Each structure stands twice: as C-alpha cells, then as structure tokens.
Structure 1
Amino acid sequence: MARFGIISAMPVELEWFIKEYNAKELNINGFYKVYEGKEGSNEIFMACSGIGKVNAAVCTQKLVDAFNVDYIVNMGIAGGISKKLRTLDVVIGSEVIYHDFNPDSLLEKYFPNTRVFKCDERLIKTAEKVCKESAVVDNYYVGCIASGDCFVEKSETKEYIESLGGICCEMEGAAIGHTAHINNVPFLIIRTISDLADENASISYEEFERRAAEQSNRIVSGILKGLS
C-alpha cells in the first residue's frame, strides 16, 4: 500500500478527479481544500493548494506532515513555451525549475544546493505509458517545466523561459518539487497545455482550461491504476 498526495492549484483542476474517486472532503486546519479517496489498496489525498509558489509549497508540506505521503503528483494546466507544443498537448516533467529566481542561482550556492528538481523516473515512465495508450492524448512530451509567480503572455518572457530550458510554464511545480526534494519524497509534475503563453494566452486559456484540466486528471488516474 502507498499514499499518494495529488495537488492542483485550482478547484477546476481537481473536479473530475474528485468525482471519479467519490472523494470525501476532509476538514483539516491549514488546507484550502483536501479530499480522501482510494485506488485499489492505495490511499489518495487530493489537495487544492491555491495559485502560486507559496501556496503550493505550504500545501506540499502539509500533505507530507498530515498524511506521510509516499509520492507527490502535481497535475493541472500550463502555458506552452516550446514551439512544438499545441493546446491540449501533455508535458510530463523530467525536472522543474524557477524562471523568476536569480539565474546566477543562490539556490545552488546555498541550501538546497540545486536549482533543478528532478522528477521521479518510475513516475515518468508510468506517465509515458499512460499517454501512449490513451485515446484522448494526441501528443505528449517529456521535458523541463518552469514555474514563476506570473501569468506569461508576453513574447519576451516566453523567450527568456525557453532560454532557461523550459518547454512549458506554470505557477506551482517548482515549489512542489523543491518541497518534495527537501522531504525526500518522489514527485511528478504533469501538465496539459491550455494556452501558448503569448499575447493571445488569456483568450485560449478561457477556452481550453476545463478540457486541459480534465485531461491531466485522466492521465494521473491512469498513473495511479498503473501503480496499484
């Protein structure tokens, strides 16, 4: 038996998952929203963190402290940075970085002595298998996901993130990976593209938000079934 902590930033990014697992909402101090469900013999704790890096880090630590989770999976939506990405493509994180932290990286000089947080290989391989076999996933990529406390819709910001190696961007993954790394908990960040992080981002985001969120939910459900 294993305990999985599943994190999404917004309620819409968790809706399908809660219904699929008939999850029960828990009333635990310090959580914005947290639910409990099961997949086979595995326990699932689904948490909505709220948007941004601080909310995400606090939520991750709460999952570790309150439930002693064995794995952390962050699912949701993202803006596409790489030119090969299209809306509803899936990105499985190989690693996560910050795009709004000092590029000379004080994180490397001081604790935790790294600016790159590696996703768990077993979870990556399981996610790839799910995506390959899924009827709803047209394209998926494994690559670096970049996080920062801003909604990216300017070409110069997009170009900067690409120069750091990020193929998509969002607002929580690196903080979740950072916290999981400190706690020695294997983690995975998986995102579906809702917009292309450009001047039209706000328009396409509204159109694809719910579809992209549900697709990420279905993939993570497949991962849990694969690990049961």
Structure 2
Amino acid sequence: MRLGIISALDEEQHGLVEAMQDPATLIHGMRTYTSGRLAGVDAVCVLSRIGKVAAATTASVLIEKFGVTHLLFTGVAGAGDAGVRVGDIVIADSLVQYDMDCSPLFPAFEVPLTGLSHFASDQRLANLTASAAHGFLDTDFEVAISADERREFGLSMPRIHRGLIGSGDRFLSSASEVNAINASLPGLLAVEMEGAAVAQVCFELGVPFAVIRTISDNANEAAATDFMRFVKAIASRYAFHIVMRVCRGLG
C-alpha cells in the first residue's frame, strides 16, 4: 500500500515530512509532494491549499501520478453542532458538499450524475484513525499539549465524534450560517473546506479514504480570531501524533 496524506495548511502537517525516512521531493502542479517511509509505511505528504478545487486536484494527482492506494486528510474544522467543542476530534463516517445545489434538476446536496449526496469513508481506515485518535488522547495528549496551552484554549477532556462532515467553499464565521446548514443536514458535526471534494475523487477512482478534523473554532463570529493561533499551537500536534499512530497501525 501507499498512503497519501493531505492537509490544507503547512501547520496541519508540521513534523511529518521531517519524520520521513529517505524523503524525496517532487514539485508538480504548484504542489510539493514528499515521498518516503513514515513509521514503516510508504507514504506521500502534500499540502493541497484551501478549498474544494484545490483539494480535489491534489487528491487526483496523488492517485494518478504517485500511485497512492489510500488517502488520509487531516486538518482543522469548525464545529457544526453545539455538542462539539474546540479541541474535540471529528472523524468522518460520511461527507457532503453543503454548498452543492443543482435543484430542481437534482436534489439539493446531490452531486450530479453520481446519485449521491453523502460519500462514505472507508470503514477500516476510519476505524484505524479513530483508534489512533483515542490512543493520542489517552497517552500523548497531556505530554504533547502543555497545561498552560490546555488552559489557554479551554481544552478539558477532549472527545472523539464520528459522523457527518460538511465541506464548502466558504470560511464560516457566523452562527446563523452554521445553524442554517445544520438545519438542512441533520447530524452535521463539523464544517470545513476540502474533505467532501477528496471523498468524491476517491469514490470515483475507487480509493479508500478517511478524514479526521480537529475542531479549531465554533464557526462563529470569533472563528477568524481563534483559527490560526489554534492551528499552530494545538492542531499541528494532534495531527502529528495521530497520523504517526495511523501509520504504525498500517505498518
């Protein structure tokens, strides 16, 4: 197997390339792809940049040019439900493009000519990712995140959620927007800007995938203020430890 690891931002993948054995770098299509062995697994790391088109392009290249057999997207997201808090982890069981609407030609949210609105994750890879996340919280969390940082960001007993993630080409920064999306998509746990596009590419090309997101903000009026500080200080460490655990589980 060959694992493709995608993140939108550099901070969401911090340390993974440095941890690779025998890394080799190739620049293609304005992306830097680094291949090597990560915890014993043949892997390719790349930053997609932000948005659905960027993510879909990157996933397609990973599959078609680099021959990855499995894809893992890791990064941050806004909470899509009041029960999901900053510092929690959401693992997608399925993903939907919340801004896809070709009605009345097709039902709202359905991707035309696929017959699907929700794209299901690979259960084996999602289960392994969930196990890695549990291992991180049980073993690594208090070592990786200092007491001062936990206090600053209000991280108290983070939880793991599994369910629906919504993707769209908007940085949501008002509670009313999230509430409107949530009303149309019951069970929505998190909102972000890439995962459902990767899910569609993987569905069409027959590649197993999983998406894991650390909740960085509440997708409300404070989201832009919280976002980058949290990504740099907290989410980068979540991602490193969890992805390394996933690779050890695959190895």
Into which bin does the TM-score normalised by the smaller protein fall?
Answer: over 0.9
CA distance in 1, matches of 2:40, 2:227: 36
How many aligned residue pairs are there?
227
**Worse overlay, 67-76 or 16-25:** 16-25
Which stretches of structure 1, 4 residues or longer, exceed 6 Å deviation after superposition?
none
Q: Which residue is 2:146 aligned to?
A: none
Say if 2:175 and 2:220, in contact at 8 Å, map to a contact too.
Answer: yes
Say if 1:77 and 1:216, in contact at 8 Å, map to a contact too.
Answer: no
Superposed CA offset, 1:184-227 (max 9, x none): 00000100011110111112213311211321232122111111
How many angstroms does 1:69 deviate by? 1.0
CA distance in 1, matches of 2:110, 2:177: 23
Say if 1:7 and 1:73, in contact at 8 Å, map to a contact too.
Answer: yes
How many angstroms does 1:138 deviate by? 2.9
Q: Which residue is 1:205 aligned to?
A: 227
Percent identity for Structure 1 against Structure 2: 29
- Call closer, same or farther: CA 1:49–1:25 in 2, change over 3 Å: farther
Give the 3-state SS of the residue equivalent to 2:29 in structure 1.
coil
How many angstroms does 1:109 deviate by? 7.4
CA distance in 2, matches of 1:160, 1:25: 45
Q: Which residue is 1:159 aligned to?
A: 179
Which amino acid counterpart does residue 132 of structure 2 have in structure 1? V
Give the TM-score, by structure 2 length. Answer: 0.84
Structure 2 unaligned regions, length at least 5: 142-156
CA distance in 2, matches of 1:183, 1:207: 36
Say if 1:31 and 1:47, in contact at 8 Å, map to a contact too.
Answer: no
Give the 3-state SS of the residue equivalent to 1:84 in structure 2.
coil
CA distance in 2, matches of 1:85, 1:103: 30
Q: Which residue is 1:131 aligned to?
A: 133
Structure 1 unaligned regions, length at least 5: none
- Call closer, same or farther: CA 1:41–1:221 in 2, change over 3 Å: closer
CA distance in 2, matches of 1:16, 1:88: 20
Superposed CA offset, 1:29-88 (max 9, x none): 224121112135531001111110001000000001112111011000111111111111
**Worse overlay, 86-95 or 41-50:** 41-50
Give the TM-score, by structure 1 length. Answer: 0.92
State which structure, 1 or 2, has the greater radius of gyration over its C-alpha atoms: 2
CA distance in 2, matches of 1:147, 1:41: 32
Q: Which residue is 2:144 aligned to?
A: none
Say if 1:77 and 1:213, in contact at 8 Å, map to a contact too.
Answer: no
CA distance in 1, matches of 2:200, 2:63: 13
Superposed CA offset, 1:117-137 (max 9, x none): 100100111122222222318
CA distance in 2, matches of 1:208, 1:71: 28
When the two chains are superposed, the root-mean-square deviation of aligned CA atoms in Å is: 1.9
Q: Which residue is 2:36 aligned to?
A: 37
Give the 3-state SS of the residue equivalent to 2:116 in structure 1.
coil
- Call closer, same or farther: CA 1:36–1:204 in 2, change over 3 Å: same
Q: Which residue is 2:153 aligned to?
A: none
CA distance in 2, matches of 1:117, 1:3: 22
Aligned to 1:145, which of 165, 179, 182?
A: 165
**2:217 is the alignment partner of 1:218:** no
CA distance in 2, matches of 1:90, 1:40: 22
Which amino acid counterpart does residue 124 of structure 2 have in structure 1? R
